[in-house]
């Protein structure tokens, strides 16, 4: 992680910003892809503004300017690795008589314009906002708070907490949210190892796009 830990005041302000934007979106807008996209963009802008106000940089989030390009490259490498592992696991499930596509199915809109919007919001905007919040802020703050005293145990606690909140935020229906659990853990691990938030951003974006595309192909 970046040597500059996230301070408590920027952390509280960031949480407050998320709460205000989400509350306003629920109060003034009907649930829709457009409203979700707008609220996530506002969250990204406001949180980055908080960190630039305090640090003149987004380095404590793992988004320092000199980290972004290398983080993107690492994200592509990690994504290729996860894709290969996922394909292998899917093949094993098929051989065991289990259809893996039922575990990762995503309900998509029916008309083409909404499908494009779904890809843009769900495949790019939302993953970036979620990585800034769940990994950059939640994981980064808790890890920084606990690491000096607990070392690896502090990392594990931060991983478990951020993943739990990530899964909880995506829990819509019943059943075990396998993609969210696996994703939350993988995103944290890639962030911890690479020290760059752009890495889990790329993995998250490409992972969502892959899930959408598989679901689209299965529905056609």
* 25-73 residue pLDDT tens: 888 777 889 999 999 999 999 999 999 999 999 999 999 999 999 999 9
Instruction: Give dist(CA 207, CA 130) in Å, integer.
Output: 13
What are the pLDDT digits (tens) for 161-199? 999 999 998 876 556 777 889 999 999 999 999 999 999
Q: For 106, how many CA atoms within 13 A lie in the half-sphere containing its CB?
A: 22
DSSP E strands in 55-179: the ranges are none
* CA dihedral sign of residues 153, 68, 133, 10: positive
pTM of the predicted model as reported, rounded to 2 decimal places? 0.93
In this structure, what DSSP letter does residue 31 have? Answer: S
Instruction: Give dist(CA 152, CA 72) in Å, integer.
Output: 26
In three-state secondary structure terms, 38 is helix
What are the pLDDT digits (tens) for 10-26? 999 999 999 999 999 88
pLDDT-based confidence at residue 3 (cuts at 50, 70, 90) = very low
């Amino acid at each position: 992680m970046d040597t500059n830990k996230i301070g408590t005041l920027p952390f509280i302000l960031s949480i407050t910003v998320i709460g205000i934007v989400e509350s306003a979106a629920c109060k003034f807008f009907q649930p829709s892809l457009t409203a979700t996209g707008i609220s996530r963009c506002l969250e990204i802008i406001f949180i980055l503004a908080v960190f630039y106000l305090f640090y003149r940089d987004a380095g404590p989030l793992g988004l320092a300017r000199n980290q972004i390009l290398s983080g993107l490259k690492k994200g592509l490498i990690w994504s290729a690795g996860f894709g290969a592992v996922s394909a292998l696991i899917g093949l094993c499930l098929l051989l065991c008589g289990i259809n893996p596509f039922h575990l990762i199915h995503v309900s998509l809109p029916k008309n083409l314009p909404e499908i494009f919007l779904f890809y843009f919001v769900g495949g790019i905007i939302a993953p970036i906002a979620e990585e800034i919040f769940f990994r950059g802020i939640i994981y980064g703050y808790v890890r920084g708070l606990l690491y000096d005293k607990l070392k690896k145990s502090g990392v594990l606690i931060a991983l478990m907490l951020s993943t739990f909140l990530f899964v909880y935020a995506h829990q819509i229906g019943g059943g075990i949210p396998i993609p969210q659990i696996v994703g939350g853990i993988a995103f944290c691990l890639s962030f911890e190892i690479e020290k760059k938030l752009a890495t889990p951003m790329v993995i998250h974006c490409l992972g969502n796009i892959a899930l959408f595309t598989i679901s689209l192909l299965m529905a056609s």
